[in-house]
Amino acid sequence: MPERKAFLLRIDPAVLEALQRWASDDLRSLNSQIEFVLRRALEREGRAVGAKGARTAPPAGTEEAS
């Protein structure tokens, strides 16, 4: 299993509750659900973990050219 990094997450209580319900519906832990949602967002944005040719983030305050 790959190494895991722990970090503090400040989150709106309503968002946390919604994620917990979703995790329960999918029979996942809250931690696994958060990772699932983040990975799905990364894939949708073309920034998937380990993806060949994954885009890098543009400099802060700038827009990407289309």
Report the C-alpha gap between 37 and 9 in whole angstroms: 15
CA 11 to chain centre: 13
List C-alpha distances in Å: 42 to 2, 21, 25, 54.
18, 22, 22, 10
% of the chain beyond a pLDDT of 70: 76
CA 47 from chain centre, in angstroms, equals 11
Which amino acid type is present at position 27? L
Structure tokens belonging to residue 31: 């931690």
pTM: 0.68
DSSP class of residue 43 equals H
Return the pLDDT at 66. 47
